[in-house]
Each structure stands twice: as structure tokens, then as C-alpha cells.
Amino acid sequence: MLTQLKDIIGDLGFLSFEISLAAGAIVILILGLVVKHKLAYKVGFIAVLLLALLLLSFGQEEVLLLGDNLQFNDLGALLKALFVFTAIWIVFYPTAENHGSEYYFLMISMILGSALMLSANNLLVIYLVIELTSFASYSLTNFDFKKKSFEAGMKYLLFGGVSSALALYGASILYGYSGTLSLSGMDFGVVENSAFLNLGMALFIGGVLFKVSVVPFHIWVPSTYEATPTDAVAVLSVIPKIAGFVLLNRILDALNVYEISWLLNTVTILGIATIGMGTLGALRQTNVKRLIAYGAVAHSGFLLAAVLIPFENGVSAFVWYAVVYALMNVAVFYLVSLFESKGMTEVDQFAGLYKKEVYLGGLVVLVMISLIGLPPTSGFTIKLFLFTVMWEWYQSVGDPLTVAYLVIAVISVVFSLFFYLKIPYQMFLRDGQNTNYSQSSLSQRVIATIFTLLVLWLFFRPEILNNIANNIKFLDW
């Protein structure tokens, strides 16, 4: 008993990132009681994140902690750093002006949940961290305190609730068949091909797919993105998603998915459907955030491809994609929030805006180009690399589904042109009156420029992405 406790205490050293986040979250909550100044929360938020980042350690061997409940590796560390990097910017968003301390508390909770998702290796832990992330997300959705927010929050919650209930049911079946909650110890060798077990797998994976917004679990995405404060969306669309994909990969690995063809095929088809549905769905959107939300769904399809690819380049592709995806989302949501703060949420409100805001317009174009995946932006680099790896995937397995995946992915790029360019199209090609529009401030422009330049810079220097990917010692996740 004592040795166990000692082990646990010893393991806590590895958990410094998570612990500091948890502690920080509580500190901020308390701070909210003491200090009423909004700036303090922002500073606190940044401090907590930076502290956590400082305590993050890279370059370790893969370790199992707390029994085998958590699995730590370098990929996780890297992605945690990415999470911090993504989240830290939200304080600069104009929509982040009025948030209280509980907002930052929830935000940190969500990051914490996602960070733990990266290492969760036990059904119980998985369930808990998913719920932790979800609860934080549900709550954050309401933070605009409008009719719409509550509606979206409620839908999100009900949807999430059903998904997680089903996932829990699935988890219970998995537990029943394997007799263990530990992913690494799971073995269904004896009872293969039982319908009940398959149901369990499907339901459990469904719970994770919900987090990564893969079709058909993407339905919550548009309304949630629309109603949630934009700064929160920037985080929501990146951090839980990336964490969810890592988790999904671990689960698929544990279930030995490459041996279970129906599961693999299902997930592959869902990936294709995700790209298709996201792209087609986005075409008809007129609300900027809904539009980008559908785009994000399509991006999930791309990320899923990287997750499914069974060799090390898949990991690299995933890391590349994740990093750039995070960057692009930070940039695009920053721009969106700038416009949102001036009351512009619908696409046609942007008509003729170039007269007032040609500079930001240019940045919007670049970021959108990156989201589409055209040069000279890093959005192109990652798509190129992903397509390359998909080619290789086909070369090695020869499965026609992989070709279909590749083709749909490529075609979706053409379609995505339509909706991503809607805003630039309105801004530059249409005439309109924006008499009430007030120009953005210099600092806002500078921040937007930094984001955009990052997106461009990684195109010209992709080896940075590669170095990041290469520094992960354990490329097999």
C-alpha cells in the first residue's frame, strides 16, 4: 500500500503540467472572488498557462503512470505545448473583454481535460476526461448569455449527454468482455466477432468521435460555434479535437483496429463522409462562424485520415496538420472576432468592406487561402504532405477506399474554395455600405498580422514542422 502511494507520489512529478493547470484553475476561481478587475483574470490565465508550459518536460521515454491509467509520451508533451500556445491568445480577442474569472476557470478545465485525454489509458479515465472537457465546453457555450447561447448550449449538452451515455454503455460492454478497464490490457482474442462486443466498440468509439466532430457526430458543431464566444471557439475547435484524435488513435490501437476490418472500414467511410458533409454543409452557410464550423468539420476528416494511416508518416502528417490547423484557427477566429465585435456576423454584411478595411481584408484572404489549402500558405503544405502520405498509404495497402478518401479530399478542396472565399468575395467583389463600421486599431492589426505571418512562414520553412514531428521519440504514438 505504501509503495503504491510512493509510486503515485513519484508519478505526480510527471504530472506537473496537469497539476499546475488544475491548481491554476482553482486559483483563478478564487481570484475572481477577491479581485474584480478583468485584467487580473487575463494575467492570471496567461500566468497559469505559461507556468504549466514551463513545467512541461520533453524528451522523455514513454511512461505509464498511476498504475497504467496514464500514458505519457513526447507527442503528448508537444501537443500540450500547442494547446497552451493556442489558448494563450484568447485574451487578445476583442470578444474576450467581458469574461469573468469563471470563464478562465472553465477554459483551463477544458485544456486540462484535453491534456489528460492525450494520455488517458483507462476506460474510466477516458470517460472522466471526456466529461471534464465536455462539461467545460457546455458551459463555455453559454457565455454570451443570449437566447441563442442557451439554446446552443442545451443542444450541445443533450447531444453530448446522449453520446457519452451511449459511450459509457459501450465502455461497460468492453469492460465486461475484457475484464479490465486498462486499454493496454484489453484483449478480446477469445470472443472475437460477437455482435454485442461490436456494439460496445461502436458505441464507445462514437463517444470519442463526438469530441472530434466526425460525421455523424458533428451535428452540434455549427450551432455551438455560432453561439459560443469566438475566443472560446478558437480553443474549442482546436484543443479538444486534437486531443480527441490522439485518444481515438490510442483506442483504435488498443482495439487492434487494423485487424477488425469492419471497424476500420466504418471509420474510413465516416472520414470520407466527414469531408464531404463538412464541405457541402458549409456551402450554404451565411453565418461566418457556422461556415467556418463546417469547414472545421471537413478538417476533421483530414485529421482522421492522418490518424488512420498506419505508419510513422501518418503521425508526422498528423502533427503537421494539427499544428497548422491550430495556427489557422487562431488566426481565422481572431479575424472573425474582430469583425464580430463590430457587429458583423453574417457573410453579406461584409459587402464592400474593402473600402474601410483593405488591410484586414488582405489578411482574411491569406488565412482563407490557407484554410482551403493553396500555396503560399502552410495550409497547402499540410495538405500536400497529407496527400503524399495518403498516396503512400494506397501504395502500401492498395485499398480502393484509400483512393476514394484521397480523391474526395482533393475534390473537397475545390468545393471549399466556394465557401471560404465567400467573405473575401463579399469584401472585395461586392459593393455595399458600411457606414457604421469603425476601423480596427493598430494593435489588432499587428496581432492579426502576426498570426497570418505564422501561417505563411510555415510554408516557407516547413522543416520546423518536421523538426517538431521528428523530436517526438515515440513515433508510434
In the region spanning residues 295 to 314, those forming contacts with other proteins, defined by CB under 8 A, are 311-313
Q: Are 140 and 232 in contact (CB under 8 A)?
A: yes
Residues 71 and 64: their CA atoms lie apart, in Å, by 5
Stretch that binds other proteins, among 13-21, 35-43, 86-94, 376-384 (CB under 8 A): 376-384
Smallest separation (angstroms) from other proteins to the CB of 430: 7
Residue from the set 7, 13, 391, 473 that interacts with other proteins by CB under 8 A: 391
The window from 27-35, 297-305, 383-391, 450-458 that contacts other proteins (CB under 8 A) reads 383-391
Choose, by CB under 8 A, the member of 175, 188, 457, 474 that binds other proteins: 175
Amino acid occupying residue 395: Q
258 binds other proteins (CB under 8 A): no
Binding test (CB under 8 A) with other proteins, winner from 123, 238, 246, 360: 123
Does 227 participate in binding other proteins (rule CB under 8 A)?
Answer: yes
Task: By CB under 8 A, name the one of 3, 34, 395, 443 that touches other proteins.
Answer: 395
Place of cell 482474442: 189
Among 16, 180, 184, 341, binds other proteins (CB under 8 A): 180
Nearer to other proteins, 47 or 154 (CB): 154
Q: Is 333 in the site for other proteins (CB under 8 A)?
A: no
| Amino acid symbol at 170 | G
Give the residue among 71, 140, 64, 131 at the shortest CA–CA distance from 102. Answer: 140
Nearest to other proteins of 254, 413 (CB atom): 413
Instruction: Pick from 27, 43, 46, 168 the residue near other proteins by CB under 8 A.
Output: 168
Residue found by looking up cell 485529421 in the block: 303
Minimum gap (Å) between residue 12 Cβ and other proteins: 20
Residue 336-375 contact track with other proteins, rule CB under 8 A, x = bound: ------------x-----x---x------x---x----xx
Q: Which residues inside 128-167 make contact with other proteins, applying CB under 8 A?
A: 128, 131, 135, 138-139, 142, 145, 147-148, 150-155, 157-159, 161-162, 165-166
Supply the minimum distance, in Å, between the C-beta of residue 47 and other proteins. Answer: 27
Among 31, 50, 49, smallest CA distance to 40 is for 31
Residues numbered 71-100 forming contacts with other proteins, rule: CB under 8 A: none
Contact call for residue 171 and other proteins (CB under 8 A): yes
Angle formed at CA 96 by CA 94 and CA 99, multiple of 5 degrees: 150
Shortest approach of other proteins to residue 107 CB, angstroms? 16
Contact criterion met (CB below 8 Å) for 215 and 277: yes
The answer to whether the bond into 376 is cis (omega within 30° of 0) is yes
Kindly state the smallest distance separating residue 421's Cβ from other proteins, in Å.
8
Residues 6+ apart with CB under 8 A from 344: 288, 350, 437
- Minimum gap (Å) between residue 78 Cβ and other proteins: 16
Total chain residues near other proteins (CB under 8 A): 103
Residues 9-38 that bind other proteins (CB under 8 A): none
Site track 414-433 with other proteins (rule: CB under 8 A), x = hit: xx-xxx-xx--x--xxx---
470 sits near other proteins (criterion: CB under 8 A):
yes
114 binds other proteins (CB under 8 A): no
The reply to whether 64 sits near other proteins by the rule CB under 8 A is no
For other proteins, which is the closer residue by CB, 13 or 216?
Answer: 216
397 is an interface residue for other proteins by CB under 8 A = no
- Tell me whether residue 202 is exposed, middle or buried, using C-beta atoms within 10 angstroms of its C-beta: 0 to 12, 13 to 18, 19 or more: middle
Cα 470-302-477 angle, rounded to 5 deg: 35
Shortest distance in whole angstroms from residue 345 CB to other proteins:
12
Report the alpha-carbon distance of residue 2 to residue 7 in Å, rounded. 8
CA angle 152, 161, 229 (to 5 degrees): 30
CB under 8 Å to 74, separation ≥6 — which residues?
58, 59, 60, 62, 471, 472, 473, 474
Whole-angstrom Cα distance, residue 28 to residue 108?
A: 9
Is residue 266 close enough to count as binding other proteins by CB under 8 A? yes
Residue with smaller CB distance to other proteins, 84 or 140: 140
Place of cell 475566443: 231
The SS3 call for residue 439 is coil
Q: How far is CA 14 from the centre of its chain?
A: 24
Cell of 94: 476583442
| DSSP state letter for 218 | T
- Name which of 112, 102, 129 is nearest 27 in CA terms: 102
